[in-house]
Amino acid sequence: MSGKDIHTILRRPLVTEKTTIQKEDNNQVAFRVRMDANKIEIRQAVEKLLGVEVAAVNTSITRGKNKRMGKSMGKRPNWKKAVVTLKPGEEVEFFEALDDLEELDVPEQE
């Protein structure tokens, strides 16, 4: 994998409302990945680290937003997102554990 460690390619999973719907409807999971990682490296990292078969990998670069901090301006860094489509019948156990947490009955606070 051209000098990159397999454990550093996937930075963290993206768990948002949109990615949760993608997981349920299209069997897709999303990750924040290294900026210099390509689709082949992302596919190999997901297959080795998570033990699933990958059908496709789509990537996009999200541009960092400009933010104000008092009088000065700052900019958040750019980052790369990978949406990984899994083959039919494949599941990632990490995301299944999140679904189990949602099913727990949590009492409402008054």
Number of domains in the chain: 1
DSSP 22-53: HHHHH-EEEEEE-TT--HHHHHHHHHHHH---
The domain in which residue 10 lies consists of 6-67+74-103
Mean pLDDT, the chain, whole residue set: 86
For residue 68, give every residue at least 6 positions away whose Cβ sits within 8 Å of its Cβ, in sequence order, or none.
74
CATH code, 61: 3.30.70.330
CA distance 10 to 21: 21
What pLDDT is attached to residue 35?
Answer: 96
Is residue 88 domain-resident? yes
Predicted model pTM = 0.78
Per-residue model confidence as pLDDT tens for the chain (110 residues): 556 888 899 999 999 999 999 999 999 999 999 999 999 999 999 999 999 999 999 999 999 999 999 999 999 999 999 999 999 988 887 655 555 545 555 454 44
What pLDDT is attached to residue 27?
Answer: 93
Residue 39: both structure tokens together: 């689709």
What pLDDT is attached to residue 102?
Answer: 52
Residue 21: both structure tokens together: 């719907």
Residue 91: both structure tokens together: 């599941």
Is residue 79 domain-resident? yes
